[in-house]
Amino acid sequence: MTTGVRYETPATVQEAAVLMAQFQATARILAGGTDLLVQMRSGRQNPGVIVNVKHIDEMMTIREESDRFIVGAAMPCMKVINHPGFSRAFPGVVDGANLIGSVQVRGRATMGGNLCNASPAADSVPAVIAAGGIAIVQGPQGSRRVAVEDIPVGPGKTSLAPGELLVAFEFAKLAQRTGTAYLRFTPRTEMDIAVVGAGVRITLDQEGVCTDAKVCLGAVAEKAIVVPEAAQALVGTRVDEAALENLAKAASAAARPITDKRGTKEFRIKLAGVIARRAALKALARAKEQQ
Amino acid sequence: MLKKTEEPVKDLKVVGTRPIRPDGVPKVTGHAQYGADYYLPGMLWGKILRSPHAHARIRSIDTSKAQALPGVKAVMVGSDLPEQKFDYLGPDRVQVNFWHMTRNIMAREKALYVGHAVAAVAATTPEIAAEAIKLIEVDYEVLPHVIDVDEAMAEDAPLLFEDMITRGVNPSPTKPSNIARRAEFKIGDVEAGFAQADEIVEMSFKTSPVHQGYIEPHACLARFGADGQCEIWSSSQGHFMVRGYTAKILGIPVNNLVVHPAEIGGGFGGKTVVYVEPIAATLSRKSGLPVKIVMTREEVFLATGPTAGSSMTVRMGVKRDGKIVAADGVFKFQAGAFPGSPVMNGCMCAFSVYDLENARAVGYDVVSNRPKSAAYRAPGSPIVAFAVESVVDELARRIGMDPLELRLRNAVKVGSPTIWGPKHGHGGFRETIEALMNHPEYKKPLGPNQGRGVASGFWFNGAGESAVTIHVGEDGSVSIASGSMDVGGSRASMAIMAAETLGIPYEKVRSTVANTASIGYNHVTGGSRVTYATGMAVVQACERIIEDLRTRAAMMWDVNVDDVIWEDGCAKPANPSVGDFKPLTLAEIAAKRAVTGGPIAAEVAINAGGQAPGFSTQFCDVEVDPETGAVKILRFVAAQDVGRAIHPSYVEGQIQGGVTQGIGWALNETYVYNSKGEMENAGFLDYRMPVASDLPMIEAVIVEVPNPNHPYGVKGAGEVNIVPVTAAVANAIRSATGVRLTSLPMSPPVVLQALESESASV
Amino acid sequence: MAKHHVTTTINGETVEFLCDTKQSLLDVLRNQLYMTGTKEGCATGDCGACTVNMDGTIVCSCLVLGVEAEGKSIQTIEGMAKGSELHPLQQKFLEHAALQCGICTPGVLVAAKALLERNPDPTEEEVRYWLAGNLCRCTGYNKIVEAVLDAARVMRGASNA
For the stretch A176-202, pLDDT in tens is: 999 999 999 999 999 999 999 999 999
Nearest-Cα distance to chain C for B21, in Å, is 7
Residues C58, C118, single domain; the answer is no
Q: Which of B686, B693, B694 is facing A261, going by the closest CB pair? A: B686
- The pLDDT assigned to B1 comes to 31
pLDDT at A25: 86
A104 interaction partners in chain C (CB closer than 8 Å): 45, 48, 51, 58-60, 111, 133
Q: Are residues B478 and B447 located together in one domain of the fold?
A: no
Burial class (CB in 10 A: 0-12, 13-18, 19+), A278: buried
pLDDT surpasses 50 at B4: no
Beta strands C73-75 and C4-10 are: parallel
Q: What is the per-residue pLDDT for B761?
A: 56
- Where is the domain boundary, C50, C79, C108? C79
How many angstroms separate the CA of residue A239 from the nearest CA in chain C?
A: 31
Percent of chain B with pLDDT over 70: 98
Q: Which CATH number covers residue C55?
A: 3.10.20.30
Q: What is the pLDDT of residue B458?
A: 98
Angle between helical axes of B381-399 and B725-737 (0-180°, round to 10) = 30
Starting from the edge strand earliest in sequence, which strands make up the sheet with A68-72, in order?
A62-64, A68-72, A165-172, A134-139, A142-147
Indicate yes or no: CB of B649 within 8 angstroms of CB of C80: no
Q: Which one-letter amino acid corresponds to residue B67?
A: Q
Give the confidence band of A290 by pLDDT, cuts at 50, 70, 90.
confident
Residue B675 lies in a domain: yes
Which residue out of B299, B628, B672, B757 would a mutagenesis test of the A interface target, given it has the greatest number of A Cβ atoms within 10 Å? B628
Q: In chain A, which residue's Cα lies nearest the Cα of C25? A: A37
In chain C, which residue's Cα lies nearest the Cα of A49? Answer: C21
Looking at the fold, whether B249 and B107 belong to one and the same domain comes out as yes
For residue A200, the cross-strand partners are A181, A215
Q: A224: Cβ–Cβ under 8 A, 6 or more apart, which residues?
A: A120, A122, A125, A126, A129, A149, A152, A197, A199, A216, A217, A218
Residues B643 and B507 in one domain: no
Shortest distance, CA B693 to any CA of chain A (angstroms): 6
Of C37, C139, C143, the CB nearest to B30: C37
One-letter amino acid for residue C55 of the chain? D
Which residue, among C145, C138, C53, has the nearest Cα to C92 in the 3D structure? C145
Contacts of B688 in chain A (CB under 8 A): 187-188, 191-192
Q: What is the DSSP letter of B174?
A: S
What is the domain count for chain C?
2
Assess whether B625 and B741 both reside in one domain: yes
* Residue B206, H or E segment: strand B199-207
Question: For an interface test with B, which of C32, C136, C142 has the most B Cβ atoms less than 10 Å from its Cβ?
Answer: C142
Q: Confirm whether B495 is domain-assigned.
A: yes
Mean pLDDT score across all residues of chain B: 96
Are residue B126 and residue B84 in the same domain, yes or no?
yes
Distance from the Cα of B707 to chain A's closest Cα (Å) equals: 40
One domain for residues B476 and B572: yes
Considering the domain architecture, whether residues B137 and B264 belong to the same structural domain is answered as yes
Average the pLDDT over B541-565 and give the result. Answer: 97
Rounded to whole angstroms, the Cα distance separating C62 from C43 reads: 5
DSSP bridge partners of B366: B179, B334
Closest CA to A165 of A282, A270, A4, A8: A8
CB distance C63 to C24 below 8 Å: yes
Please indicate, yes or no, if residue B538 is contained in any of the structural domains. yes
Question: C-contacting residues of B 611-650, CB under 8 Å?
Answer: 647, 649-650
Q: How many domains does chain B have?
A: 3
Q: What is the pLDDT of residue B72?
A: 98
What percent of chain C has a predicted confidence (pLDDT) above 70?
Answer: 98
Q: CB count, 10 Å around CB of B253?
A: 10
For residue C161, what pLDDT band results from cuts at 50, 70 and 90? low
B387, B312 contact by CB (below 8 A): yes
Q: How far apart are CA C47 and CA C38, in angstroms?
A: 12
CATH of the domain at B224: 3.90.1170.50
User: CA of B682, closest CA in chain A: separation in Å?
Assistant: 11
Contacts of B131 in chain A (CB under 8 A): 1-2
How much is the average pLDDT of B527-543?
A: 94
Q: Measured between CB atoms, which of A187, A261, A271 is closest to B680? A: A261
Q: How far is B387 from chain A (nearest CA, A)?
A: 24
Query: How many angstroms separate the CA atoms of B701 and B431, rounded?
Result: 11
Extract the runs of DSSP E, i.e. beta strands, from B34-178.
Answer: 44-50, 56-62, 72-77, 110-111, 117-123, 137-142
Which one of C29, C60, C100, C128 would you mutate to disrupt binding with B, by most B Cβ within 10 Å of its Cβ?
A: C100
DSSP line for B523-561: --S-TT-IIIIIHHHHHHHHHHHHHHHHHHHHHHHTS-G
Domain co-membership, C118 together with C68 = no
Nearest to A272 by CA among A211, A230, A209: A230
Contact between residue B582 and residue B545 where contact means Cβ atoms under 8 Å apart: no
Q: In 3D, which of B683, B56, B108, B78 has the Cα closest to residue B369? A: B56
Domain boundary among B608, B624, B652: B608
Q: Do C138 and B657 touch (CB under 8 A)?
A: yes
Whether pLDDT at C152 is above 80: yes
With an 8 Å Cβ cutoff, are B297 and C106 in contact?
no
What's the CA angle centered on A147, arms A146 and A151, to 5 degrees?
75
C155/C111 same-domain check:
yes
Distance in angstroms (rounded) separating the CA atoms of residues A272 and A254: 9
In a domain, B401, yes or no: no
Domain with B737 in it: 426-459+612-762
Reported confidence tier of residue C160, pLDDT bands at 50, 70, 90: low
Domain boundary among C27, C60, C79: C79
Under 8 Å CB-to-CB from A42, ≥6 apart: which residues?
A: none
Chain B contacts in chain C segment 54-73 (CB below 8 A): none
Beta-carbon separation of A38 and C133 below 8 A:
no
* Chain B residues closer than 8 Å to C38 by CB: 30
Mean pLDDT of chain A: 96
- Chain A positions touching C57 (Cβ under 8 A) are 76, 78, 107-108
Contact C22/A102, CB-based, under 8 Å? no
Beta strands across the sheet bearing C73-75: C13-19, C4-10, C73-75, C51-54, C57-60
Domain stop point among C35, C53, C79: C79
- C75-89: per-residue pLDDT in tens? 999 999 999 999 999
For the segment B597-621, the average pLDDT, to the nearest whole number, is 96
B94 and B57 assigned to the same domain: yes
Reading phi first (left if > 0) and then psi (alpha if -120 to 50, else beta), residue B322 is in: left
B699-722 residue pLDDT tens:
999 999 999 999 999 999 999 999
Do B688 and A189 lie within an 8 Å CB cutoff? no
Judge whether B97 lies within some domain: yes
Name the residue in chain B with its Cα closest to that of A193.
B685
For position B93, what pLDDT does the model report? 85
Q: Does residue B276 lie in a domain region?
A: yes
Q: Note whether B448 and B473 are same-domain residues.
A: no
**Single pTM value for the model:** 0.97
Instruction: Kindly state whether residue B421 falls inside one of the protein's structural domains.
Output: no
Q: Does C101 share its domain with C74?
A: no
CA B682 to chain C, closest CA, distance in angstroms equals 10
Last residue of a domain, one of B255, B271, B303: B303
Q: Are B318 and B199 in contact (CB under 8 A)?
A: yes
Predicted local confidence at residue A115, as pLDDT? 98
pLDDT at B9 over 60: no
Do B499 and B600 sit in the same domain of this protein?
A: yes
pLDDT at position A1 over 50: no
Mark out the alpha helices in B622-698 (DSSP H runs).
Answer: 648-667
Instruction: Inspect the interface and report whether the beta carbons of C22 and A30 lie closer than 8 Å.
Output: no
Confidence of residue B7 (pLDDT cuts 50, 70, 90): very low
The set of chains that have 3 or more CB pairs under 8 A with A is: B, C
Q: How many CB atoms lie within 10 A of CB B565?
A: 16
ipTM of the complex: 0.97
Digit-coded pLDDT (tens) for A31-82:
999 999 999 999 999 999 999 999 999 999 999 999 999 999 999 999 999 9
Residue B521 lies in a domain: yes
The predicted structure's pLDDT at residue B8: 47
The answer on B247 and B106 residing in a single domain is yes
Nearest-CA residue of chain B relative to A196? B628
Residues C113 and C144 in one domain: yes
Cβ neighbors of C160 (< 8 A, separation 6 or more) are none
pLDDT for B272 equals: 97
CB contacts of A38 in chain C (<8 Å) are: 44-45, 63
Q: Which CATH number do you get for residue C105?
A: 1.10.150.120
Residue A226: CB atoms within 10 A of its CB come to 18
The closest CB to that of B694, out of A185, A188, A193, belongs to A188
Confidence at residue A2, expressed as pLDDT on a 0 to 100 scale: 44
Query: Are C73 and C50 part of one and the same domain?
Result: yes
* pLDDT given for residue B2 in this prediction: 33
Task: Name residues whose C-beta falls within 8 Å of residue B757's C-beta, 6 or more positions apart in sequence.
Answer: none
Which domain covers residue C99, as residue numbers? 88-160
Q: Say if residue C57 is in the same domain as residue C97.
A: no
Asked whether residue B449 falls in the same domain as residue B478, the answer is no
Q: How many angstroms away from the CA of C137 is the closest CA of chain A?
A: 15
In this prediction, residue B5 carries a pLDDT of 37
Identify the domain boundary among B556, B582, B608: B608
Q: What per-residue confidence (pLDDT) applies to B6?
A: 43
Give the sheet arrangement for strand B310-318, strand by strand: B179-187, B359-367, B324-336, B310-318, B199-207
What CATH number did the domain enclosing B519 receive? 3.30.365.10
pLDDT tier at A141 (50, 70, 90 boundaries)? confident
Instruction: Give pLDDT, residue A256.
Output: 97
Angle C105-118/C142-160 helices, nearest 10 degrees? Answer: 40
Q: How far is A180 from chain B (nearest CA, A)?
A: 22
Q: For position C17, what pLDDT does the model report?
A: 98
SS3 for C80-129 is: CCECCECCHHHHHHHHCCCCCCCCCHHHHHHHHHHHHHHCCCCCHHHHHH
Question: Residues of C with CB below 8 A from A189's CB?
Answer: 129, 132
Does residue A28 belong to the interface with chain C, where contact is any CB pair within 8 Å?
Answer: no
Same domain, C30 and C73: yes
Q: Contact partners of C by the rule of 3+ C-beta pairs under 8 A?
A: A, B
d(CA B653, CA B691): 16
Listing DSSP states for chain A in one string gives -TT--EEE--SSHHHHHHHHHHHGGGEEEESS-TTHHHHHHHTS---SEEEEGGG-GGGS-EEE-SSEEEEETTSBHHHHHT-HHHHHH-HHHHHHHTTSS-HHHHTT-BHHHHHHTT-TT-SHHHHHHHTT-EEEEEETTEEEEEEGGGSEEETTEESPPTT-EEEEEEEEPPPTTEEEEEEEE-SSSSSPPPSEEEEEEEEE-TTS-EEEEEEEEESSSSS-EE-HHHHHTTTTS---HHHHHHHHHHHHHH-----BTTB-HHHHHHHHHHHHHHHHHHHHHHHHHT-
Nearest CA in chain A to B747: A187
> Cis link prior to A126 (omega < 30° from 0)?
no
B183-229 confidence digits (pLDDT tens): 999 999 999 999 999 999 999 999 999 999 999 999 999 999 999 99
